[in-house]
Amino acid sequence: MFDYLIVGAGYSGSVLAERIAKELNKKVLVVDRRSHIAGNAYDHYNEDGILVHKYGPHWFHTNDKKVFDYLSEFTEWRFNYHRVKTYVDGRLLPIPINMDTLNELYGLKLQSPEEVQAFFDGVKVDTGNPANSEEMVISQVGEDLYKKFFKGYTLKQWEIDPKDLAASVTARIPTRTNRDDRYFTDTYQGVPKHGYTEMFSKMLDHPNISVMLQTDYKDIIGKIEFGKMIYSGPIDSFFDYKFGKLPYRSLRFEHETFNQENYQSHQQINYPNDYDFTRIVEWKHATGQKSPVTTITREYSLLAEEGMEKYYPIPKEDNHELYKQYKAEADKLDDVIFCGRLADYKYYNMDQVVARALMLFEKKLSNTHQE
């Protein structure tokens, strides 16, 4: 008999399992249909001995000290600012667009943030309140930079014209007037020193926690007794798709190992306009691993079809409306807590999903048990 059945061994499931087992001293069963823990953050050593992330590159970054301190109970860190280059017009340029991007691209000699701002002011388009992704970008950096840096990348990633995508999709990408070439400016940035999977195995290492892998929760319902359920799988699947399927983007990864120390200058290079892939990641730059060989991964974006991994919820109004129908059903269930990127049909960064799980524990679970 378990107090909780937790579906999914990713961040949502593992954080809640750890909190419930340790703080409430309750018995928890975590099930995942995959053959491993850590959800989409899973990393492993490939056949060439290189530590790679199976479901696409995961760079941890946060300003949330509480989240950072919590995860630090289970790992040390390799701090590393994430820096990305974009291949435009045959050159590797810094992204987010900054002073150096403009100088290198246009052969300018801008030297102060004021000069850079004056450049942006000269090219930006007055769109009023930006209504979509295209307007969001051109209202900041104008048409040319939009076409060179954003349009192709967004089209590859979503197969939707940026005019038809919510403004919020590109609003997350900053532009800089100085020379700061960090992709994120968060205080804490890096990767777990010994990898994500190692961090998750420490989180789940508690006598009150049992883990069953390669198990769909639907196959054990009725066979295992439990009190409440915490569900971090897809919300539409929970309700047997009764209102229809929520659409997702999927990814295809092409890995290649080279008999040389390094392949490219940075851990991530984006390709907005050339080739079919969106980006190439070289893992050793992020992990600091030493090896005479190196593995790179090319990433291709595609619509998720039957049997494919679901990666990104597609941010369109009608999808959100469909999600709301499922959410209304979920709200009627007292004994199931829905939590996570698939259950909430929402893109969360890792720190956000940890913060959400910690908040759920504090607000919903620890109170329930004090009553």
Ligand X SMILES: Cc1cc2nc3c(=O)[nH]c(=O)nc-3n(C[C@H](O)[C@H](O)[C@H](O)COP(=O)(O)OP(=O)(O)OC[C@H]3O[C@@H](n4cnc5c(N)ncnc54)[C@H](O)[C@@H]3O)c2cc1C
Region from 16-24, 30-38, 170-178, 199-207 binding ligand X, contact rule CB under 6 A: 30-38
Judging by DSSP bridges, how do beta strands 60-62 and 279-282 pair with one another?
unpaired
* Cα torsion 355, 195, 46, 285: sign: positive
Residue 39 engages ligand X in binding (rule: CB under 6 A): yes
Residue 77 engages ligand X in binding (rule: CB under 6 A): no
- State the nearest-atom distance from the C-beta of 131 to ligand X, in Å: 27
Distance CA 332, CA 328 (A): 7
Distance CA 41, CA 54 (A): 8
Asked whether the beta carbons of 310 and 39 are under 8 A apart, the reply is: no
CA angle 299, 300, 301 (to 5 degrees): 125
Per-residue binder mask for ligand X (CB under 6 A), 10-29, x = binder: xxxx----------------
- State the nearest-atom distance from the C-beta of 251 to ligand X, in Å: 6
Half-sphere exposure at residue 29, Cβ-oriented, CA atoms within 13 angstroms: 19
Binders in 181-240 for ligand X, by CB under 6 A: 216-217, 232-233
Region from 8-16, 73-81, 148-156, 361-369 binding ligand X, contact rule CB under 6 A: 8-16
Binders in 338-367 for ligand X, by CB under 6 A: 340-342, 348-351, 353
- State the nearest-atom distance from the C-beta of 198 to ligand X, in Å: 16
Per-residue binder mask for ligand X (CB under 6 A), 294-323, x = binder: -----------------xx-----------
Residue 130 engages ligand X in binding (rule: CB under 6 A): no
- State the nearest-atom distance from the C-beta of 356 to ligand X, in Å: 8
Judging by DSSP bridges, how do beta strands 279-282 and 91-95 pair with one another?
unpaired
Amino acid at 225: E
Mind giving me the DSSP string for 252-264?
Answer: EEEEEEESSS-SS
Assess whether the previous peptide bond of 96 is cis (omega < 30° from 0).
yes
Q: What are phi and psi of 257, to 5 degrees?
A: -110, 135
Binders in 44-63 for ligand X, by CB under 6 A: 55-60
Question: Where on the chain is the footprint of ligand X (CB under 6 A)?
Answer: 7-13, 31-34, 39-41, 55-60, 216-217, 232-233, 251, 311-312, 340-342, 348-351, 353
